[in-house]
Structure 1
Amino acid sequence: MRAGNIRQFASLSKFQNVKEFNAHKRYFIEHHAGLFTKSEFLAFEILSQYSVVVPGVANAKIDTLVEKSAEKAGGISRASFIRMLRKAKKTGILVVHKTYRASGGFAHNVFVFQRFDLACVTKVIQRTESEVACESKDERLEMGKETINLYKNQKDKDLKIRKEIASSDNSPCQPSLEDLDETFTPDSVPRDFVHTVKPFYNMAIEIYTFWEKAKLAYNQFCFDRPLEYMVSVVIDAFKTTVFHYKNRKIKATFMQYFYGTLKGMFSVEKRREHMARVPRYNWLDEPEMS
């Protein structure tokens, strides 16, 4: 699919207007109340807000949506958006198309919301309740026996399927690296640093990447102290970056600003370390002249 203006993708819309789109979105959220975490739900809402020019269709890069989330929701991580998209696609409410530039290469995504047919769900429930209500006592007893056998067979079948899934390396049920939360962060990353970062970036791979950046900045200097004794400096650099990010003072990416801030703080620490090694002349100890 070729990249282009949002109007170019109007034919993909499943809704007559924004009001109809919002109604189907509301039905979906009510029916899948526990599907999203708080951050994932905010990501879902942000994507919905960018899907009103053409009802139910948005064309944007994930990184763009992440940047916009800072203005609307105080900031949501890229991993949260990816998890939300994975869940939304799995339920069928969202279809994602990739687009390509005329010169070649990947451009933006096209997110297409699907209709949520609540009527079909209601009819199925009503039909099931109606059939159960008119059953006789003998039919219920007979059905009870069949249900027990069916439950046993289904339980055995489910167990077999789970074993097959567990033995498959390509199983979609196995969590990817991006799905691991902060509890999976390697022990090489100091716990104090993990606790500082996780309110803003709660995925293990994100926290680990920040610490690797800290190690990269540390290696630019020849400190006498190991990095583990300078964790407070790294934490101060991260907090400073968060402050300026919330204050909308960062023009580069968050990671770039963190790296530059940390190098500046390490430079100050290096000068202090150097001054501590330089012997100072004490005129009070100078011998008296006779």
Structure 2
Amino acid sequence: MLVAGRIENFKDYSKFSSLKEFNNTIEMFLAEHKKDFTKGELVAFKRLVRFSAKYAGVANAKIGTLVKAINEKLKGFGVSRSTFERMLRKAKDLGILSIENTAKSKGGKGHNVYIFNTIDVLKERKLTYCENPEKPCDSKSEDTYFEGETSILLKTSKKKNLKIRKDVDLDSTFTASYVPKEFVHAVKPFFDHAAVIEDFWKSVFLDTKAISHIVEQDTITYTAINAFKQAIRGYKRGKVKTNLVRYFTGTFKKLMDQVYSELPLHVFSSSK
């Protein structure tokens, strides 16, 4: 068990390289799971997120302290301890949060340490999740995960919402037109969010900008799809040590280097 102490003692538990990466993860998590929390639980969740800003994704505080801070901020119209505890259970069950207990140096229970997980850990749970725990999940071969639109691993609500939402709340049908449809179709069974799909494609665009006049667009697109499939396989096998977009980017670069090296010499001479 960890020893209770100042937040600086737990900074190495942060799983994020920056506050921006942490905030992006929270946005993607809420895009998928906002509906799973009550209004009070969302207030509690967002307050915990704010408490986790000094060292991205890590907070250490007693529940009573957090509840008090919320109530003071909202002038008495805050949340109860039971609401905060329900939020913690849901966040932990959904995979976004890990909770470590601490002990005081002189004995007795100390504060909790709240550690937010990266999107990779979150999606790993989604990829292996069985909605009905009393009914075993059907076994699936590795290739089943890459059968396109028919292998929907992340089920998203199809209900229409007339409110204007942030980009991260928009599903794959709102993906910008500069992203090839083939790539959208490959990614959306896993990430049915326009902003996430665009983030993956930005890596492709930046890495091929200088050679787009040499390599055909179809080649780039299908290399990117292949890289995404390999990234998912690597992720499921526990090879992803940073986050999935970075792993995908590295995989895509390697595949494109191979494609580029195999181009005939006359292509380079004609491009001058």
Give the structure-1-normalised TM-score: 0.44
Give the structure-2-normalised TM-score: 0.47
Greater per-residue helix proportion:
1
